[in-house]
């Protein structure tokens, strides 16, 4: 993995986890754990959607593990949350080969992270505007 892509992954995960809670909390009977993780809807192997905030949830370790082990349950979760409105678009986008400039994208993410920290935007707004 390239150094820039690795930096991007860390920064992207930090931004997703900045929500500060598991987005699946209370959705089912899985007990949330304190460790928050970035969980992708479509695999990170697809560059086109790896960089899209509409393709990631903030999940606790327990929910992330559960949805990884039970993908049909994850599908149910996706189709009853904010992602239901963009899932088809994300899925289609993931099927297109895309070359990403990881260095440029890292700089964009730093700007997004700064805006979130300063209260100028939220992850929900970023997802809505497909940044």
pLDDT at residue 131 in the model? 57
pLDDT at 54 over 80: yes
Which two structure tokens, joined as six digits, stand for 101? Answer: 């400039």
Beta bridge partners of 88: none
Q: pLDDT tens digits for 7-41?
A: 889 999 999 999 999 999 999 999 999 999 999 99
Q: pLDDT tens digits for 73-122?
A: 999 999 999 999 999 999 999 998 788 788 888 889 999 999 999 999 99
Share of the chain above pLDDT 70, in %: 98
């Amino acid at each position: 993995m390239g150094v820039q892509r690795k930096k991007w992954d860390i920064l992207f995960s930090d931004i997703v986890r900045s929500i500060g809670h598991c987005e699946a909390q209370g959705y089912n009977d899985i007990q949330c754990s304190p460790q928050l993780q970035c969980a992708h809807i479509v695999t990170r192997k697809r560059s086109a959607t790896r960089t899209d905030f509409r393709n990631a949830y903030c999940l606790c370790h327990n929910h992330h593990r559960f949805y990884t082990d039970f993908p049909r349950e994850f599908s149910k979760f996706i189709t009853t949350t904010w992602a239901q409105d963009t899932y088809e678009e994300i899925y289609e986008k993931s099927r297109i080969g895309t070359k990403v400039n990881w260095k440029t994208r890292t700089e964009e993410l730093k700007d997004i992270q700064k805006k979130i920290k300063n209260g100028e935007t939220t992850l929900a707004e970023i997802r809505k505007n497909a940044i």
